[in-house]
Amino acid sequence: MKFKKTTLKNELRIITAPMKETQTVAVLVMIGVGSRFETEKEAGLSHFIEHMFFKGTKNRPTAMAISEELESIGGEYNAFTSKDKTMYYAKVDKKHIKIALDVIADIYLNSKLEEKEIEKEKGPIIQEINMYEDTPIQKVGDVFEEMLYPKTNLGREIAGYKKTVSSFKRKDFVDYMKKFYVADDTVVAVAGNFQEKKIIREIEKYFSKMPSGKKAKISKVKENQKSPQVKIKFKKTDQTHLVLGIRAYNRNNKDRYALALLSIILGGGMSSRMFLEVRERRGLAYYVRTGGEAYEDVGYIATSAGVEHKNLGETIRVILGEYKKITQEKVSEKELKKAKDFVKGRSVMGMESSDEVAMFFIDQEVTYGKILTLEEKFALIDKVSVSDILRVAKDIFRLDRLNLAVIGPHKNAEKLIKELKM
């Protein structure tokens, strides 16, 4: 997959990836700022801004005007906010690329942020927060990160608090965007069937006047865990949800590819070790999976599952058994190859979709400031050996790095601490 990177005079970057075999085009704009850049008083502001960008611009004064224009051409559009990024996108039939680019550029550069719309949108966002509270399968991940990174903006939920959301005024949005929404930290990506030179000129026309500034810097998390931790969120649920994980590597660590493959071997699919042991052999859970998160400064790998309340202890023991096993025995060459092929297969399938291609490139550019092609990534994956998997497993799976988050009708954290033995 070929791509081109163009940098404007104001340091805004453009990534173009032509795909002649598709009939669609995806336009993405991403900024390297999310909830972890907020102060405590600003908690939830990055996410709120994402909502407000769809509430009206100078050229499209209402939410209806924005949605109607994209939906009238059958376009898909949305946005997301994470802890270190925010993205806006539209995907359309290739003949409507001008409309997609015009709308996405308009909401990103010209949103009105009207006080009355801000007040109205507080209600839906508070309901969104309530929705997450009632969705333990998702909420337990927030509980886990809050335990790992207490009293930091990284450990705080992306949507913020009801108190802060209710307090925001227009000035808060304007000041935050003036500080962070700068050309130096913005990337525009277009993938699909389009004329490359022409679209680069169009993007430059829209974004060349965007002000420059300094790329945002994080307050790095300091980790000093010395013993296993448990955090319980008591809730009368029909099922206990848990996340059991280990502090691991940041996203720049040289062993990140070995860690990713280790994660897949443990719980990356229906033939993974966790799925077979927890679900197929013991019938303890409907869902069980292992995955990780890698931030600029810290990271982790964790297994999540939903189980009967009475089976919590047994499930913990089974998961820990798999963690211990992978530190004691080399995985087979066959199992490692299967994990590598799993990654490659999923990656290649994603490259058939214009929005996935655009995401592949823009995410790397915002995260690392450097883009690797699929072939280059595959070469790094192929270098990982069974010895690397064992070495990484031995390095990270230690008792003093172990963490357990639970949502369900449980209160005895001390009892669960006793279960955390490697």
- Report the topology of domain 229-419: Cytochrome Bc1 Complex; Chain A, domain 1 (3.30.830)
**What percentage of the chain carries pLDDT values higher than 90?**
98
Segment 243-255, tens digit of pLDDT: 999 999 999 999 9
pLDDT the model gives residue 312: 98
Q: Which residues are catalytic?
A: 50
Strand arrangement, sheet containing 240-247: 229-234, 402-408, 240-247, 299-307, 285-294
Write out pLDDT tens, residues 135-192. Answer: 999 999 999 999 999 999 999 999 999 999 999 999 999 999 999 999 999 999 999 9
Q: In Å, what is the CA distance from 246 to each residue of 195, 299, 331, 343? A: 47, 9, 19, 22
Model pLDDT for residues 19-70, shown as the tens digit of each residue: 999 999 999 999 999 999 999 999 999 999 999 999 999 999 999 999 999 9
Identify the pLDDT of residue 322: 98
**Strand 229-234 vs strand 402-408: parallel, antiparallel, or unpaired?**
parallel
**Complete DSSP assignment for 120-148:** HHHHHHHHHHHHHHT-HHHHHHHHHHHHH
| Angstrom distance (rounded) from CA 103 to CA 59 | 9
Using DSSP, how many helices (H) and how many strands (E) does the chain show? Answer: 16, 11
Eight-class DSSP state of 193: S
Q: Where in the sequence of the chain do the CATH 3.30.830.10 domains occur?
A: 4-207, 229-419
Rounded to the nearest integer, the mean pLDDT of the chain is 97
* 422 pLDDT more than 80: no
Question: Among 214, 187, 33, which residue's Cα sits nearest to residue 104?
Answer: 187
Interval 292-318 mean pLDDT: 97
| Cβ atoms of residues 32 and 95 within 8 Å | no
Q: Which fold has domain 4-207?
A: Cytochrome Bc1 Complex; Chain A, domain 1 (3.30.830)
User: Which run of H or of E encompasses 180?
Assistant: helix 170-180
- Residue 115 gets the label, from left (phi > 0), alpha (psi -120 to 50) or beta, of alpha
302: pLDDT strictly greater than 90:
yes
Which two tokens mark 103?
A: 């709308």
